[in-house]
Structure 1
Amino acid sequence: MLTTELEKDLKWPSSIVVSEVGPRDGLQNEKTMFTVEQKISLIERSVEAGAKIIEIGSFVSPKAIPQMADTDEVARRMKRVDGVEYRVLVTNLRGLERAEAAGIKKAKLTVSASRAHSLSNLNRTPEEVLRGFAECAEYAATHGITLSGAISTAFGCSMEGKVPIEQVITAINGFREIGVKELSLSDTTGMAHPQQVYAYSARVKEQFPDITWNLHFHNTRGMGLANVMAGMMAGIGRYDACFAGLGGCPFAPGASGNIATEDLIHMCHEMGIDTGYDLDKMISIGKYVQEVLGKDTSSFVLKAGKSSDIVKVQNK
């Protein structure tokens, strides 16, 4: 195979970490209510397929997100596997207390980089939200809970437009002040593009080398996997994804959901990048989700199949 000078310069990672966020970020946006048993099945099957980090749900107001009202029961009843990180989203101290009561030792806090988005949803500025997390940090430290953080609308906001990197850095500094050293830049509205992702990722990775970085993309405008590749080029090695490509943002009209786990795994495996996942098992999970929902989803691999399967058919 001919290798160009450009290809020699591109250093793709040998492996990446893919966090499965379907049980939380995927299911919370669906009208169909999954039972506790179905949620547990999705969690346990995802772990069996190779997930080492999985977001099992959120401890938030059941009035705000009724799909997550049974996260306590899911956490108590699911089988836990050594070496797997079971994570939940919380928004305040009460949520963190529920996580601790359910035996969960990893919780994620989230703040918007967009002032307009934060004020519209919480009637508080990002700085005020971050200050409110101080009591969560104190509680976590005394109860053996590790906190991570997510910066939503890190690339764009449906109210503000493009979000300047300076606003993202303000949020990063706020998390660092309370001792959070694992952060995700989240493309909540699906407005990020590869050039921007590369620039933002390279900037934060260089400026904050003490932070473990994660990227979270929605495929609203079809740029999700391209954004992953831009993140890889900038040296980011951790990505969120969702089985069957579920999810989306209520503030992004036409949002098609998160990048599909099976699509991301398929792309990586075609490129020789290890994910630790069994792709066939993830495809089976995605098809099961579609059956429960009674509809197709935005996953490309579930529609077209694996490239290797097409080759096998052609060679028969």
Structure 2
Amino acid sequence: MQHVKIVEVGPRDGLQNEKQQLSVDEKLALIAELAAAGLTHIEAGAFVSPKWVPQMADSADVLAGLDLSGPIHYPVLVPNEKGLDAALVAGVREIAVFGAASESFSQKNINCSIAESLARFEPVIRRARDAGVAVRGYVSCVVACPYEGPIAPAAVASVAQALAEMGCYEISLGDTIGVGTPRQVLAMLEAVAHKVPITQLAGHYHDTYGMAIANICASLEFGLRTFDASVAGLGGCPYAQGASGNVASEDVVYLLHGLGYETGVDLDKLVACAHRIAARLNRAPSRVAKAHH
């Protein structure tokens, strides 16, 4: 049975785009439930400006409540060297850096060009790796951008290649506004796979148009074996019109188990966790959470 890795992004990518703020204890309870369901890679926070992302202001306190030396990976998002300093003090073993394949999105999201963002990441990645910390790279807007429209697959491949060459062990390819269809996603993956081995790639598909599961199916056939997902479908891109957020982890697990893949995740426990966090945030549960009681 082939294994597919799920990177659970709910406690970071999900919560940072939810209006309601959870306490440190609530975040730790959520992370503990996700770990108990069998997830081994759980994004735990972000060392970003609390002015821009107030939901992540307590990331150091969350990390202090986790066993960072255990078998579970708790990566955190780090945008610059200041963020890296804070992450290293907190004792993290893995960080993620966040680039974009769209110039406009890069300017609006992190106030610099793509080239400037990559130059900014270079010392962060180098210092992290020197400290024995693994680095994951994200590329957003891999299919389309809310400002520019469609993005050329070659542009995505070039950013992914730059991040891989700097030392990112895995590159997560994000359809940030969730407009991609399997055909577009496959064209993008084909371009990227020419530059970065497919074993180093992950799919991060938002479900705005209900296409995330179809895009995961197409990516599985292409050879991808790592996907990002968010419990209860938490989050969404604040810059994308009507973006409904990340694909729900429980929907992805249901799909993968149905296709005969092994994930190490207990679907019943994950669904129970999804119901609890959806109720806490006054959200409707995902399709699988609704159907699978």
TM-score by length of 2: 0.95
Contact persistence 1:220–1:256 (CA under 8 A): yes
Contact persistence 2:161–2:196 (CA under 8 A): no
Structure 2 partner of 1:68: 56
Note the residue ranges of structure 1 that are not aligned, 5 or more in a row: 1-12, 307-316
Please give the alpha-carbon distance, in whole angstroms, between the structure 1 residues aligned to 2:199 and 2:124. Answer: 19
2:243 to 255, 267, 273: 255
Contact persistence 2:157–2:191 (CA under 8 A): no
Please give the alpha-carbon distance, in whole angstroms, between the structure 2 residues aligned to 1:35 and 1:197. Answer: 37
Please give the alpha-carbon distance, in whole angstroms, between the structure 1 residues aligned to 2:220 and 2:163. Answer: 24
Q: CA deviation at 1:15?
A: 2.5
SS of 1:147's equivalent in the other structure is: strand
Structure 1 partner of 2:75: 87
Residue 238, structure 1, aligned to residue 226, structure 2: yes
Please give the alpha-carbon distance, in whole angstroms, between the structure 2 residues aligned to 1:218 and 1:108. Answer: 19
Please give the alpha-carbon distance, in whole angstroms, between the structure 2 residues aligned to 1:156 and 1:88. Answer: 25
Q: CA deviation at 1:113?
A: 0.3
Structure 2 partner of 1:59: 47
Q: CA deviation at 1:173?
A: 2.9
1:180 to 130, 150, 168: 168
Structure 1 partner of 2:102: 114
2:289 to 274, 280, 302: 302
1:138 to 104, 117, 126: 126
Q: Tell me the amino acid that sits aligned with residue 129 of structure 1.
A: S
Please give the alpha-carbon distance, in whole angstroms, between the structure 2 residues aligned to 1:266 and 1:50. Answer: 14
What value does the CA root-mean-square deviation take over the aligned residues? 1.6
Please give the alpha-carbon distance, in whole angstroms, between the structure 2 residues aligned to 1:260 and 1:202. Answer: 25
SS of 1:85's equivalent in the other structure is: coil
2:93 to 102, 105, 108: 105
Please give the alpha-carbon distance, in whole angstroms, between the structure 2 residues aligned to 1:198 and 1:153. Answer: 15
Q: Could you list the runs of 4 or more consecutive aligned residues of structure 1 that deviate by over 4 angstroms after TM superposition?
A: none
Say how many residue pairs are matched: 293
Deviations 1:100-149 (A, max 9, x none): 11111100001110011112233321011101112112311321111110
Structure 1 partner of 2:84: 96
TM-score by length of 1: 0.89
Structure 2 partner of 1:8: none
Q: Which has the larger radius of gyration?
A: 1
How much identity, in percent, do the aligned residues show? 38
Contact persistence 2:5–2:263 (CA under 8 A): yes
